[in-house]
Structure 1
């Protein structure tokens, strides 16, 4: 801006200066011409008055030439136009002057004047003629330079003057432009209402102040939204990535950085953070304007990748990618499929037996003495089905939390004693000794569910024991928490299988499990019953030595 103001002022000053010089030159030249003609006319009249006073013309004129009192050219012309005298040329060699304008006017009107320009010499010659009393004409001529001639003659001083004028104009323009711009440079645009500047800038400063207030409000809103966005995205378990139309990564939250191991977001293509084919195809489809949904496996976990195009004013601006951990959902779905398959299998076996025995009885193939035996088998398999359906219903209730009973204060030691009493016959059949180490303690829970939990633990400990083995059931308070512990001296569980024994229908030794019966849902019911009461289940087992299951309940006031 300073340069533009400087150039403008400098050019204006220079043009004004040059025009002023030119105008003054013309004015001075015109004044000089008028004064020169006036002096020439006065000289001519003075000489004519002297001649008319009785002086001999030729002698008087020659005396002037000898005295050299004037650089003026003097010519005496007869009434017929012949030149009688000229102080610069021989009269005989000069042409007749009767046709000259100033001479003709003098002969006719008594006086005449004219001027003629010499392009070769860049000079103007002024002529003034007056008629004498004897009818002859006295003409005086004076030569002066034209404007161009004067300029050419004054070229050096003129150039020097112009250079000085240019330098002066440059200096004044520079200082003036600095002075004009200085208040503008000193403006505090953050607080324009406090600025001391030109009055003409007041409307502009008011607009800037209003815009500053508007921008400040918008920035506050943007910061608020940015804070909200950051707070939301930083605490998201899902990975969030935003890319532009060129696949450049614009944003990713901490979850995405952790999942994809992203260290630097800037100037990085999203295709470089994961080079799997599924990831690339999802990004490319989103950037082509299509929604895409697929699954990825990262660090052994399953993630659902949702890729959506981001549109702005009808054109594709980029894409938004969301990584959702669906491992638990997929595992549940897998468990559901396995559960369905296992239920189908578990139901098919007793139903096949029932159908087979019933068909033998219906067709009369069974002997009369075998009918009672077949009926007993049918009853046994039916009871097995009833127990299986009951266990499935109980698991469903525990999953959904719809047990239908209120929690009450229960004596854990008393319930354990009741279960041990009911299982004494079963223990005797397996040649297993049941022992108890019961110390008084209370839990807050549902009696039926706690009873099933204890019963299933003790029942498993008896079934998977060895002949002559033992099962010890104990209750106590440890660190203020009620604890139930069931320890057996049975076959034990391999270390690789211990994490799966609480899954539905999972059996370590399937052949042994078939032989001893059961639905395969006992420990799964234990796990869900404990979770329903916010209890922890811990299993310790050594193959060939035995297994101990510990259930730690919360304090009664914390349940």
Structure 2
């Protein structure tokens, strides 16, 4: 770069000097001619003038050489200065370009991070709002920063109202929850249970503390109704089982004690033995029903296949013929051939047997039982009607509960444990079937089970 610039400037200088010298020479020649003409100088005198000019050429050449040398020196200095400025300018521009590149890269990184933050914020907000648990974020003054839809649903507060900035007491009137928030800084982190609209809710609160100062509160609301109901059902079931087993065991122990410590006749021994066997069978049937109910809890272990429901029902009817004849019960059927469902065959038998057996057991003397099993569109409908004692309106919702019997004294005489319809309900649930009970006291009962066709 430097060499090219120097040669260019030197060439231009030489060209300029040469052109200038030639121009000066011709101008001098012209001026001399004009001067001679005006002055009237004779031609013979021109010789002396040319001689003078020729002698002056050496001085002119010397002047030109000195001028060229000085010009080259000055050109060199100017060239170095220009190159230096250009180099410094290039260096400055390179630095600026590098700086611009860094800024651009940082800008791109910031934009990428910003997009990522927006995306993460959207995901967090989506999860925050769609999660089943209620989530509430409060500041240090217990004012609401954010409350999700699930929390509003669980706490039964206005879904459309914006509670942002409102105090927690304004949104939720629960004494238990607000007491828990007031004691947030205590060491105990035990959840609090509250009942709102027949639902049992459990609240977990966590204090956000920095440098010993409360910065905010995070609250989680969980619907614990199902667990509470299951626990209640478990305790009720345990109590009922204990009570139901205690009665026959007490009877067996009493008869055995009498036979051991008292002088009894053979006739008494036979009566006592019959009662012992009866109560023992009752306990065995009850235990088998309890085991059956327990097995229905784990639906993943229940094997299903294509089952001929009409064949299963006919088998149940045949096995219950003796029981029906003892009460002179007339069984009429309307059963379609080749009605198949995707189910567990053993459970289908238990379901049909329980329903038909109850229709006979709780029927009147000389009563009737009507059994239907037919395809209806994309469904299979199994229906059993009887002319029995029926169920009053107030007990209809309870007949599928474990150990529930309308008339306990009569159920005991008939050998009922109160688990039959509970088993039927669970079997229907396992097979995604719909079960309905219609009944009128002293008129009869109708139980309908609907299956989806395979």
- So what's the TM-score if we normalise by structure 1? 0.60
Match of 1:282 in 2: 180
1:483 aligns with 2:374: no
In 2, distance between residues paired with 1:215 and 1:265? Answer: 33
Q: Is the 8 A contact 2:360 2:369 kept in 1?
A: yes
Residue of 405, 410, 416 corresponding to 2:307: 410
Residue of 202, 226, 230 corresponding to 2:125: 230
Match of 1:217 in 2: 112
1:513 aligns with 2:408: no
Question: CA offsets per residue over residues 357-380 of structure 1, 9 Å max, x none?
Answer: 111111233222211111111111
Question: CA offsets per residue over residues 481-505 of structure 1, 9 Å max, x none?
Answer: 2221111122222223212211111
Given the superposition, is the C-alpha separation of residues 543 and 204 from structure 1 closer, same or farther in structure 2, using an over 3 Å criterion? farther
Higher deviation after alignment, 203-212 or 299-308: 203-212
Match of 1:164 in 2: none
Q: Is the 8 A contact 2:395 2:406 kept in 1?
A: yes
Question: CA offsets per residue over residues 157-211 of structure 1, 9 Å max, x none?
Answer: xxxxxxxxxxxxxxxxxxxxxxxxxxxxxxxxxxxxxxxxx99999997776565
Q: Secondary structure at the match of 2:296?
A: helix
Match of 1:423 in 2: 320
Q: Which runs of 5+ in 2 are unaligned?
A: 1-92
Given the superposition, is the C-alpha separation of residues 402 and 480 from structure 1 closer, same or farther in structure 2, using an over 3 Å criterion? closer
Match of 2:143 in 1: 248
Given the superposition, is the C-alpha separation of residues 322 and 237 from structure 1 closer, same or farther in structure 2, using an over 3 Å criterion? same
Q: Which of the pair has the greater relative contact order for Cα pairs under 8 Å at 6+ separation?
A: 2
Match of 1:3 in 2: none
In 2, distance between residues paired with 1:539 and 1:516? Answer: 21
1:532 aligns with 2:422: no
In 1, distance between residues paired with 2:383 and 2:182? Answer: 57
Residue of 272, 283, 289 corresponding to 1:385: 283
Residue of 325, 329, 348 corresponding to 1:432: 329
State the shift of 1:310 in Å: 2.2
Match of 1:496 in 2: 394
State the shift of 1:468 in Å: 2.5
Q: Secondary structure at the match of 1:399?
A: coil
1:356 aligns with 2:251: no
Q: Is the 8 A contact 1:407 1:445 kept in 2?
A: yes
In 2, distance between residues paired with 1:283 and 1:353? Answer: 55
Question: CA offsets per residue over residues 26-53 of structure 1, 9 Å max, x none?
Answer: xxxxxxxxxxxxxxxxxxxxxxxxxxxx
Given the superposition, is the C-alpha separation of residues 230 and 365 from structure 1 closer, same or farther in structure 2, using an over 3 Å criterion? farther
Q: Is the 8 A contact 2:163 2:171 kept in 1?
A: no
Given the superposition, is the C-alpha separation of residues 221 and 292 from structure 1 closer, same or farther in structure 2, using an over 3 Å criterion? farther
Q: Secondary structure at the match of 2:183?
A: helix
State the shift of 1:553 in Å: 1.4
In 1, distance between residues paired with 2:394 and 2:279? Answer: 32
State the shift of 1:292 in Å: 3.7
Q: Is the 8 A contact 1:287 1:319 kept in 2?
A: no
Given the superposition, is the C-alpha separation of residues 308 and 489 from structure 1 closer, same or farther in structure 2, using an over 3 Å criterion? same
In 1, distance between residues paired with 2:179 and 2:352? Answer: 53
Question: CA offsets per residue over residues 404-463 of structure 1, 9 Å max, x none?
Answer: 6x3232211111111111112212223422221111211122221110100000111112
Alignment of 1:184-203 (within 5 A): none
Match of 1:293 in 2: 191
In 2, distance between residues paired with 1:218 and 1:313? Answer: 30
Alignment of 1:268-347 (within 5 A): 268-286=166-184, 291-312=189-210, 315-347=213-245
Q: Is the 8 A contact 2:372 2:382 kept in 1?
A: yes
Alignment of 1:13-32 (within 5 A): none
Question: CA offsets per residue over residues 493-525 of structure 1, 9 Å max, x none?
Answer: 222321221111112222322232211100011
Q: Is the 8 A contact 2:154 2:223 kept in 1?
A: no
Greater fraction of residues in helix:
2
Q: Which runs of 5+ in 1 are unaligned?
A: 1-197
Match of 1:147 in 2: none
Q: Is the 8 A contact 1:285 1:292 kept in 2?
A: no
State the shift of 1:383 in Å: 0.6
Q: Secondary structure at the match of 2:452?
A: coil
Q: Secondary structure at the match of 2:141?
A: coil
- So what's the TM-score if we normalise by structure 2? 0.74
Match of 1:450 in 2: 348
Q: Is the 8 A contact 1:287 1:318 kept in 2?
A: no
In 2, distance between residues paired with 1:487 and 1:324? Answer: 43
Q: Is the 8 A contact 1:291 1:309 kept in 2?
A: no
Quick check: which has more Rg, 1 or 2? 1
Given the superposition, is the C-alpha separation of residues 482 and 246 from structure 1 closer, same or farther in structure 2, using an over 3 Å criterion? same
Residues paired across the two proteins, number: 358
